[in-house]
Structure 1
């Protein structure tokens, strides 16, 4: 079958080649984790032949799809990441197939649009961040400041603190970073109007308290089996794969597991999707307070009706009254998705720092 695809890749008609590119990429994504090394080599060869003459929009679509597939061969990912920014941005921001050395090479040689895409990655080592800050212009530097997954060297932190004095958006982003020293935090607060400074200080304290709740007895929660694993027609790993491939949505899976009251596997799925350790997700699920799990779900765009069903399952697990569930829903409706995502980023950095300590 793959050999015949190689022959089809030689098709000269652009419409047929575009259609074939979509079919081959879909076939590759569907079972990327099952192919042998020989099959992966054939797929890579076919895709490379097809993208050589593909139009920009077709290459961009392919890059967007393959960027989320960890099995994408490194050479194919690097080829797309080295292309025009409209094509490369997906690989640069999302692909795990690119190595640290790949990213450093691209950061040293590409233009501002490429640097901006790299600056938005979930995790950036300080060595790479330094290159982006050195070569990047204002949009790149603002993006670094706003990215809690961007590790800052001592030099990088000093640079951003200096820029914060005259760049209000960058300063705003810096106040929400979880890796600020107390000295840097107070310096930033002093640059804000008094009422805004107090608001930021209060929010920072609340977020820190939430991190403490998530950390508290997290290991014991998992070891003690506080959430019962229930039989379900859905397999968690299959469901997770379907979410990532676009066959189903997180909301649909979230609702199905809530209806079946399979909170153990739901904790696993939420942990994988949010890139959090499952012990922390399990911990917030079994605690009475709703703030931790509400932040997680709102940040992942879980709908109100789906969250309501989850609250009912959670309330039954904790043996709580309807009034308690209604209060949870009111809190959830007041929480904005943007704020939840900001808090979740803060939590991730603080948890990482706590684990390192």
Structure 2
């Protein structure tokens, strides 16, 4: 491998340089969590030099790959995030290597496409959200309203509530937010047709009930050891790393752990991928009701056949009949991925609010 990289480095044609960039980045990603500081410095220097000579599409591919690698050096992440929007958008939306100050600087200085990418991050502090709302045009403001991970200051909430009066898509997004006060929620409902308002009210109540189920006895469920780790050659941390590097898919790992009936480690993997605390994932996994774990799995794009195998493992753990498993599968097939992702975002915000209370 090393000799081939050295040979590629001597080449001047764009195809060979592209191949070198791909191989160096793959080598970095494969063991990013193991390199010493000296090795990281070496990789950073090589990648930054290659980036200078790379074409836009190649830099965009690199940005998309490194955006999901937490070990990506800050200066490399910031360089990509400061580039053209087609390259920067991946870093701006996904990278944990960018600091709060980096994001604030970029939000204050970059154009609308960059702001839109930042607005889609899983979590935005209210200070950053305010800058996006102040500088952003309609697409950015709609994106903020639709992002439950975007914290809103009092000013930000007032602005979005005002805009909701004349912007139907933004108004609909606001009705699904979990951080609305009762007063704001009722004001939004009053702006909707009666039948739509009742539908939103019912859905909001159902989501709130689901949050209560997830919270209920979550700590006790884990402490009681209701799920036991089975002896298995499957290493959950290695599997998680392979998922994040793209070496394998979540569906493949999900199926393997379901077949081995290793629900304990599967709960760990689902928690890590979804960003939920493992105690909440474990709680919904061992409850008879399917709604909580179904929402999580559908939101993570778990396939029907994979979920069916999981239901069999779950049914065996809970000592339930085939009829129960069939009912779970019917419910899962009725749940859309878009709806599940919306509910999961609602749940995350409510859980965060409950933990902070």
State the shift of 1:11 in Å.
Answer: 3.7
Change (3 A) 1:128 1:312: same
Kept in 1: contact 2:296–2:340 (CA 8 A)? yes
Deviation at residue 3 of structure 1 after TM alignment: 10
**Equivalent in the alignment of 1:229:** 229
Contact 1:116–1:143 under 8 Å retained in 2:
yes
Give deviations 1:322-353, integer Å, cap 9, x for gaps.
11111101000000000000000000000000
Is the 1:149–1:349 Cα contact (8 Å) retained in structure 2?
yes
Structure 1 residues 343 and 209: CA distance shift in structure 2, 3 A: same
TM-fit CA distance, 1:233: 1.6
2:26 & 2:305 partners in 1: Cα distance? 32
Deviation string, structure 1 residues 2-58 (Cα, Å, up to 9, x no partner): 799578546422111111000000000000000111111010010011010110000
The verdict on how the C-alpha distance between 1:292 and 1:207 changes in structure 2, with shifts beyond 3 A counting, is same
Task: Give me the whole-angstrom Cα distance separating, in 2, the residues matched to 1:64 and 1:236.
Answer: 24
Which residues of structure 1 form unaligned runs of 5+?
none
Q: Distance in 1 between matches of 2:303 and 2:17?
A: 39
Q: Number of paired residues? A: 357
Q: TM-score, normalised by structure 1?
A: 0.98
Contact residue 2 and residue 43 of structure 1 kept, 8 A:
no
Equivalent positions of 1:1-357 (< 5 A) are: 9=9, 11-357=11-357
**Structure 2 unaligned residues grouped into runs of 5+:** none
Asked if the contact 2:8/2:16 (under 8 Å) is kept, the reply is: no
Query: Is the deviation greater in 113-122 or in 6-15?
Result: 6-15
Runs of 4+ in 1 over 2 A off after TM superposition: 1-12
Change over 3 Å in CA distance of 1:287–1:164 after alignment to 2: same
Q: How far apart, in 2, do the equivalents of 1:208 and 1:59 lie? A: 43
Which region of structure 1 is more displaced relative to structure 2, 9-18 or 330-339? 9-18
CA distance in 2: counterparts of 1:14 and 1:341, whole angstroms: 41
- Contact 2:267–2:278 at 8 Å: present in 1 too? yes
Cα pair 1:88 1:114 within 8 Å, conserved: yes
For residues 85-125 of structure 1, what are the alpha-carbon distances to aligned partners after superposition, in whole Å with 9 as ceiling and x for unaligned?
00000000000000000000000000000000000000000
